[in-house]
Amino acid sequence: METTKIKAPAWFAILGILALLWNLIGVLAYFGHVLMTEEMKNALPPDQLEAMNAAPLWVIISFTIAVFGGIIAAILMVMRRKAALFFFQVSFAGIFLQQIHTFFFIDAVAIFGNIQGLVMPAILLFIGVVLILVNGHAVKQKWLR
């Protein structure tokens, strides 16, 4: 039985590369956070340092899942593998849990300002949804194998 290869459009390949770059930025942000020295922490405003130190373990785990699920998903998307959809969904679950903390457990806008406390979390959620929808469409179109 012969399987027909269906070529994905160029925009899908471009989006895959952009997703990979976006998620690499996320990995850098993650390591910047977890490898922050005491000197770097002490340079933060007191309310940001307090919020960071008070973050429960489930928020850190969610951050980890979001970042590494996203980078795996983006690599799989570039490689045109169906598993990309699953890993984007896992990554989104991590993003979603993180943002529950941001929106409902701390006053992120007061602590981090409008951009970091409101706009950036909304952008993360939006991009996560778009990547899930696009990869779901790609699976249906058989662009991913």
pLDDT single digits (tens) 55-67: 999 999 999 999 9
- Contact in structure between 92 and 70 (CB atoms under 8 Å): no
Global pTM value:
0.90
pLDDT single digits (tens) 121-132: 999 999 999 999
Q: What is the pLDDT of residue 52?
A: 87
Q: pLDDT above 70 covers what percent of the chain?
A: 97
**Residue 3: band (very low, low, confident or very high) from pLDDT cuts 50, 70, 90:** low
Q: pLDDT above 90 covers what percent of the chain?
A: 78
Q: What is the pLDDT of residue 4?
A: 66
What tokens were used for 27? 């990995």
Mean of the per-residue pLDDT values of the chain: 93
